[in-house]
Structure 1
């Protein structure tokens, strides 16, 4: 009952990795944690952390205005960028880059359900490895168990989003334009896969950054458990 009451008191909309494990504090008894409590507490913590990260990247400008995860022009387009801008297609290039990031922002919320499934499947060994692991052990856990499935789910969403926000048409127009210019080449490559990979790379990067804060910054360890476990791991 103590665990339940403690977790319901956590403000999930504002919680960060610095207080994600706060509820586990109430599970410590006599200086030790029971195995089932470690798993239950960590699962809830990861749900909050995953929710916060997905919310961050899934909002408007979540990718576009974040230089760390912004999806830039793919290689073939970047290579031809100067030529295209010289020919007067700068607006189309900017619109294409913006639309790719908008597609990623639309796809990101779909990650939540897959993350929940991975958390539900977590074992005691998984929990201990995360608690005692490296700076991004929780993120690595998510990536290992969810990325292939996320790619399957993101791909059709990205495809539809690229079309709805105009990225597909912008790309096709740029391709046609480039081929018509002197020394121009085709931009042929898998646009859907490029944006899907970029969206997932960005999502896991944000997860890793949030997790790393608590592991590297002693001041962010707001509970006895965080100080005990992460401090001992150093």
Structure 2
């Protein structure tokens, strides 16, 4: 047999062995790897989202999460402007967004605590749950606590707006008539929009990790998320 043929016959098994080793699938992941990878993704995504939003103009300067006026005020904008109070509307938008920016850093410890509480079952479900299953995990685990933390901070900022106070007084009267829905105060409205914005940004971070796990520079992220691509 020619030397080349011998070498080829020796290399082929090695090639297929290497290929099978590289072709890692989710069934090949250990519980430890799956959990470690998910925890790394949770920490990375949540920290990045908080860092982007919890700064000056983090909400106001980002059209994806910028908090607009409550719908009732938006509809009344032409009349409010005619009354010479258009500037107050603009100031309210600014104060609402700055309130969210001030509140969001409070989310970090709660998000990281949620990471620590994650079980092996959570990890497997998140890995196979779709492009935003990490975000949904955070939403399910932290929404109520985050709302409780955000609300006092948001209220402290929005109470400085005269229009905010007048809106709340009006909505309070409407509520007594039984015709108002949820988020009847400016602070409730901003708190919910702040949560929505936070989870929107976490979802963006998650999608980026899933699309290019190797590009994160993390070996465990590359291994775990590479296995489900």
Smaller-chain TM-score bracket = 0.7 to 0.9
The answer (yes or no) to whether the contact 1:43–1:119 under 8 Å persists in 2 is: yes
Distance 1:117 1:221, change over 3 A: closer
The answer (yes or no) to whether the contact 2:168–2:186 under 8 Å persists in 1 is: no
User: What are the equivalent positions in structure 2 for 1:1-234 lying under 5 Å apart?
Assistant: 32-163=28-159, 166-167=160-161, 169-172=162-165, 189-215=184-210, 217=211, 220-222=212-214, 224-225=222-223, 228-231=226-229
**d(CA) in 2 for partners of 1:133 and 1:40?**
17
1:173 positional shift: 5.4
What is the RMSD computed on CA atoms of the aligned residues? Answer: 2.7
**d(CA) in 2 for partners of 1:70 and 1:82?**
21
Structure 1: state its 5+ residue gaps.
1-27, 177-186
* SS of aligned partner of 1:230: coil
TM-score, normalised via structure 1 length: 0.72
Distance 1:103 1:142, change over 3 A: same
Question: Where does structure 1 differ by over 6 angstroms across 4 or more consecutive aligned residues?
Answer: none
Task: Tell me which structure has the larger Cα radius of gyration.
Answer: 2
The answer (yes or no) to whether the contact 2:41–2:209 under 8 Å persists in 1 is: no
TM-score, normalised via structure 2 length: 0.74
The answer (yes or no) to whether the contact 1:54–1:203 under 8 Å persists in 2 is: yes
1:200 positional shift: 0.3
**d(CA) in 2 for partners of 1:227 and 1:117?**
22
Structure 2: state its 5+ residue gaps.
1-20, 170-179
